[in-house]
């Protein structure tokens, strides 16, 4: 579904990604594991058009998307739920969801998607008129995922969905992501500080160190890898 080849990204004179290549197969959940500063968010930001790669190729469904502006990439069906969630704090929950569908062209399944969001996140359905800035951290994360679903995306990229959220809600959110994948066939690229959890829910994983891919494979196998266990799983 997504194919990254030899991606090089710089911030000024500092190189954040070094010749990065990996793939996200259709219908899979892929986790990017890496320490703080490894370049995980940079990968997502580059794929979604917020950063420009110096060289390299990013293909989504067989078509080159690098160099396209972010809204064009969303229109193709690739949604980014960024670190810090970036919802509109002054707008209501319902208005935030509507904003997600703003650029959606095919609106035939819009109300179906809305009902789906309410079914997986009943808390959101109960708070439609509430100002988004007054939602709890976990509820804001649910709203951000809901907004991405409203865009009609086939693939979702999530940056640290568990950040600053109570463990019980983290569990709910991850269950919903798995559901999104299993029931709707959505492809997911996940960046997550909680590597234990991320490796449990994903099919495949890539390990990023200082902007370079150092390991990749099935998540179940990487969870057993002694290097990974020592560096990322706290064993
Ligand atoms: N706008 C920027 N300008 C300059 N350097 C940046 C910028 N954004 C990120 N960097 C640098 O690029 C490197 C990768 O950052 P990135 O945010 O992608 O890491 P990360 O893996 O997401 O880290 P974290 O786990 O802390 O979120 C870091 O060294 C960071 O300081
Ligand atoms: Mg990050």
**What does DSSP assign to residue 26?**
T
| C-alpha triplet 229, 234, 235: angle, nearest 5° | 60
The minimum-distance atom of ligand 1 relative to the CA of 191 is 22
Say which residues have a Cβ less than 8 Å from residue 16's Cβ, sequence separation at least 6. 9, 10, 39, 42, 211
Cα-flanking dihedrals φ and ψ of residue 65, to 5°?
-120, -5
Domain of 79, in residue numbers? 2-232
For residues 104 and 102, what is the distance between their CA atoms, to the nearest angstrom? 6
pLDDT digits (tens, 9 = 90+) for 43-93: 999 999 999 999 999 999 999 999 999 999 999 999 999 987 789 999 999
Distance from the Cα of residue 107 to its chain's centroid: 23
Q: Whose CA is nearest to atom 27 of ligand 1?
A: 36
Do residues 231 and 38 lie in contact, with contact meaning Cβ atoms separated by under 8 Å? Answer: no
Share of the chain above pLDDT 70, in %: 100
Q: What is the mean pLDDT of the chain?
A: 94
**Whole-prediction pTM:** 0.95
Do residues 227 and 206 lie in contact, with contact meaning Cβ atoms separated by under 8 Å? Answer: no
Residue 54 sits in a domain of what CATH number?
3.40.50.300
- The pLDDT of residue 39: 97
* Rounded distance from Cα 36 to ligand 2 centre (Å): 7
Total domain count, the chain: 1
* Rounded distance from Cα 36 to ligand 1 centre (Å): 8
Of 86-95, 108-117, 162-171, 179-188, the range with the lowest mean pLDDT is 162-171
* Rounded distance from Cα 108 to ligand 1 centre (Å): 39
H helix count then E strand count, the chain: 10, 10
């Amino acid at each position: 579904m997504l194919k990254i080849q030899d991606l090089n990204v710089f911030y000024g004179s500092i190189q954040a990604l070094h010749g990065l290549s990996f793939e996200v197969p259709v219908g899979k959940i892929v986790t990017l594991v890496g320490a703080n500063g490894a370049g995980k968010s940079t990968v997502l930001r580059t794929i979604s058009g917020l950063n420009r790669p110096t060289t390299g190729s990013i293909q989504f469904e067989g078509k080159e998307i690098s160099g396209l502006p972010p809204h064009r990439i969303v229109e193709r069906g690739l949604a980014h739920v960024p670190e810090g969630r970036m919802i509109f704090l002054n707008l209501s929950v319902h208005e935030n969801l509507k904003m997600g569908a703003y650029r959606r062209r095919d609106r035939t399944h819009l109300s179906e998607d809305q009902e789906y969001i309410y079914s997986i996140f009943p808390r959101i359905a109960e708070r439609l008129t509430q100002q988004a800035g007054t939602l709890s951290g976990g509820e804001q994360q649910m709203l951000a995922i809901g907004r991405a679903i409203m865009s009609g995306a086939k693939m979702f990229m999530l940056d640290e969905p568990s950040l600053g959220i109570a463990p019980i809600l983290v569990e709910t959110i991850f269950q919903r992501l798995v559901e999104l994948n299993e029931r709707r066939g959505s492809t997911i690229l996940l960046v997550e500080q909680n590597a234990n959890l991320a490796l449990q829910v994903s099919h495949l994983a890539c390990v990023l160190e200082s902007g370079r891919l150092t390991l990749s494979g099935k998540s179940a196998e990487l969870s057993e890898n002694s290097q990974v266990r020592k560096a990322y799983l706290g064993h």
